């Protein structure tokens, strides 16, 4: 067979096969075009999971009438002009293949009005080589792309998409990735004319974390550590998950953006993995959402038609930068309070950090003995144990023997056997931890919680007088004459009926003219319910360590609901041989 140049109809479908694999690929390419056009609002509407119809409408600067036909032609782009431009790509599109590839496998309608023009223009094209014609229309500034009957002329492609219903999730994922990298956009997504999600633009950089909360419903934003580093002309920003949280949730959230483009990159993933390994001694994948801004001449994005991969010219330096940044942020937050900092005479800090919860949970997972030893050595190195007691004494004075019926523990304490209620013990310990924290001017652990509470002028006066005292308990709010803008609340209030609990607290706080710390502590004890959760052996040990430091006298004169002594001598007499 002689060598010959392929017809455009054949070559365009070959190109389309690399770029347009499924409806989500169409969405990705069109959204990137809208972003390059500096759009502020993007509307997405799909029918039949994108196979029947895809409509993308934006308010960017539009396409001029004279360029509308070129826009759907192969290798036509406004992003680059010569070879040198490939080394400084700062747009999402640059290959000039997206619209022409979509045209070759669907029926596409393109409507646009260029900025400063008073009239829009429309063209229609499909996979055939028929001549396309321009039509004048009324259209606002911006562009609308309608993609109908995707793969109608290449039905074999549909055979490789086994589950068409799952395509909706892939489209949703593409939109999420765009929303995570472009906080300045308003994005509206509809399926079969029903609203699925709306992402409103975020102008304040501090509020970016709430976009994460909206996208990942299971994400506890209080479990995130913010990363913000810069070295020379490279900036690293984003969030990593605190080590103790990776076991229970969001294991697979690993998002990496290079110049706001979502990419898969092993250098970044390995840097994060090894930083956590250095910190914890356990090599397990961790969740992260990271953004790297780097001059375009230091990367190569022209690797794959999907533009989802990137090559760094100085990969070793990027690896070191990410690795050291993550490791430093983990070490700096290692002292994040789990029990609160404990000052000593020598002004050294003795503490149990959240890292120890992580240790115990790893042990619960039955990890290798070598890893267990590493974690226990780490606890000892951090000098948690008090100076006036030896490590052996504090470990041996109060021993947990067994968990009974999920909520109780049989312990051995000063030659006595005691049955203790873990839920009530946890409530009491939390109270004394809070008291200790306030006494030593330490900010209690709190978490983000936004709420608006309407108040009267009388309540305003009382709260204004007492707000500094309330702040000591971990609250953060802006007090206005007619309402309170609540920002943070103490972790001790994290319960099911949290809204009602917060309202009750501020009603109490605004009705007490002579409010003091003792009254607030009493309110906390009387209003916070015991948490009825199943306990395991290692969580029980951790609670007993807290109890022995913060309130050791509790077991000497315990509440009858808290513990009960077991008369072992009486039992032995019954069983005597």
The stretch 453-470 carries a mean pLDDT of 89
Domain boundaries, the chain: 8-199, 205-332, 397-577
Name the pTM for this structure.
0.59
Q: Lowest mean pLDDT: which of 11-20, 59-68, 82-91, 376-385?
A: 376-385
* Tokens 């801004």, located at residue: 293
pLDDT value for 369: 43
C-alpha 161/C-alpha 157 separation (Å) is 7
pLDDT value for 76: 61
Q: How confident is the model at residue 411 (pLDDT cuts 50, 70, 90)?
A: confident
CA dihedral sign of residues 274, 277, 283, 288: negative
Q: Do domains 8-199 and 205-332 have the same CATH topology?
A: no
Task: Classify domain 205-332 at the CATH topology level.
Answer: Ribosomal Protein S5; domain 2 (3.30.230)
DSSP string, 455-508: --HHHHHHHHHHHHHHHTTT-EEEE-SSEEEEEEEEGGG--TTHHHHHHHHHHH
pLDDT above 70 as % of the chain: 75
Distance of CA 547 to the CA centre of its chain: 33
pLDDT value for 287: 84
C-alpha 58/C-alpha 49 separation (Å) is 20
Q: Lowest mean pLDDT: which of 41-45, 164-168, 413-417, 491-495?
A: 491-495
| Consecutive H or E run containing 361 | helix 354-364
Higher pLDDT pick, 426 / 5: 426
Higher pLDDT pick, 248 / 499: 499
Task: Classify domain 8-199 at the CATH topology level.
Answer: Heat Shock Protein 90 (3.30.565)
Higher pLDDT pick, 239 / 311: 239
Cβ neighbours for 485, distance < 8 A, ≥ 6 positions apart = 450, 452, 477, 478
Q: Lowest mean pLDDT: which of 61-65, 356-360, 516-520?
A: 356-360
The top-scoring range by mean pLDDT among 285-299, 353-367, 491-505 is 285-299
Higher pLDDT pick, 354 / 500: 500
**397-577 CATH pick, 3.30.2130.30, 3.30.1370.100, 3.40.50.720, 3.30.390.50:** 3.30.1370.100
103-154: pLDDT as tens digits: 888 889 999 999 888 889 999 988 666 677 788 999 999 999 999 988 888 8
The stretch 333-355 carries a mean pLDDT of 40
pLDDT value for 346: 37
Count how many residues are written for the chain. Answer: 577
């Amino acid at each position: 067979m002689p060598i010959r140049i392929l017809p455009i109809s054949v070559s365009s479908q070959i190109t389309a096969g690399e770029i347009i694999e499924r409806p989500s690929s169409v969405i990705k390419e069109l959204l990137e075009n809208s972003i390059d056009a500096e759009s502020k609002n993007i509307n997405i509407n799909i029918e039949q999971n994108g196979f029947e119809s895809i409509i993308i409408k934006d308010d960017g600067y539009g396409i001029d009438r004279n360029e509308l036909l070129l826009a759907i032609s192969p290798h036509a782009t406004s992003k680059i002009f010569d070879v040198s431009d490939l080394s400084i790509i700062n747009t999402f599109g640059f290959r000039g293949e997206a619209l022409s590839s979509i045209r070759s496998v669907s029926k596409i309608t393109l409507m646009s009005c260029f900025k400063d023009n008073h009239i829009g223009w429309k063209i229609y094209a499909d996979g055939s080589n028929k001549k396309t014609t321009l039509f004048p229309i009324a259209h606002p500034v911006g562009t609308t792309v309608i993609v109908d009957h995707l793969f109608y002329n290449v039905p074999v492609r549909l055979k490789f998409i086994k589950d068409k219903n799952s395509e909706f999730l892939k489209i949703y994922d593409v939109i999420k990735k765009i929303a995570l990298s472009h906080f300045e956009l308003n994005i509206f997504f509809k399926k079969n004319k029903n609203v699925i999600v709306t992402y409103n633009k975020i102008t304040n950089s501090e509020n970016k974390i709430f976009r994460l909360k909206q996208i990942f419903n299971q994400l506890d934003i209080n479990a995130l550590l913010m990363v913000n580093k810069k070295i020379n002309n490279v900036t690293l920003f984003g969030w990593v998950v605190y080590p103790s949280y990776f076991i229970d949730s969001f294991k697979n959230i690993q998002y990496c953006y290079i110049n706001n483009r979502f990419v898969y990159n092993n250098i970044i993933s390995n840097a994060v993995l090894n930083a956590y390994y250095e910190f914890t001694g356990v090599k397990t994948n961790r969740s992260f959402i990271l953004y790297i801004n780097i001059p375009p001449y230091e990367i190569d994005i022209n690797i794959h038609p999907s533009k989802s991969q990137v090559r760094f010219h100085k990969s070793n330096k990027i690896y070191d930068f990410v690795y050291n940044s993550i490791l430093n942020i983990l070490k700096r937050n290692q002292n994040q309070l789990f029990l609160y900092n404990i000052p000593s005479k020598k002004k050294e800090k003795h503490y149990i950090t959240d890292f120890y919860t992580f240790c115990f949970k790893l042990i619960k997972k039955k990890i290798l003995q070598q890893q267990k030893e590493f974690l226990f050595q780490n606890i000892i190195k951090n000098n948690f144990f008090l100076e006036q007691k030896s490590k052996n004494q504090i470990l041996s004075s109060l021993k947990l023997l067994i968990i009974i019926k999920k909520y109780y523990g049989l312990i051995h304490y000063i030659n006595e056997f005691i049955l203790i209620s873990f839920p009530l013990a946890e409530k009491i310990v939390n109270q004394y931890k809070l008291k200790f924290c306030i006494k030593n001017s330490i900010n209690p652990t709190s978490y983000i919680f936004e709420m608006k509470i309407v108040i009267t002028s009388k309540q305003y006066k009382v709260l204004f007088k007492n707000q500094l005292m309330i702040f000591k308990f971990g609250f953060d709010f802006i007090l206005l004459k007619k309402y309170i803008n609540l920002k943070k609340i103490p972790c001790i209030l994290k319960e099911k009926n949290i809204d009602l609990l917060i309202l009750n607290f501020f009603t109490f706080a605004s009705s007490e003219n002579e409010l003091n710390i003792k009254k607030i502590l009493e309110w906390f004890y009387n209003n916070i319910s015991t948490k009825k959760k199943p306990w395991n052996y290692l969580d029980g040990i951790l609670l007993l360590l807290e109890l022995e430091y913060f309130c050791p006298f509790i077991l000497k004169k315990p509440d009858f609901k808290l513990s009960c002594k077991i008369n072992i001598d009486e039992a032995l007499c019954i069983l005597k041989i």
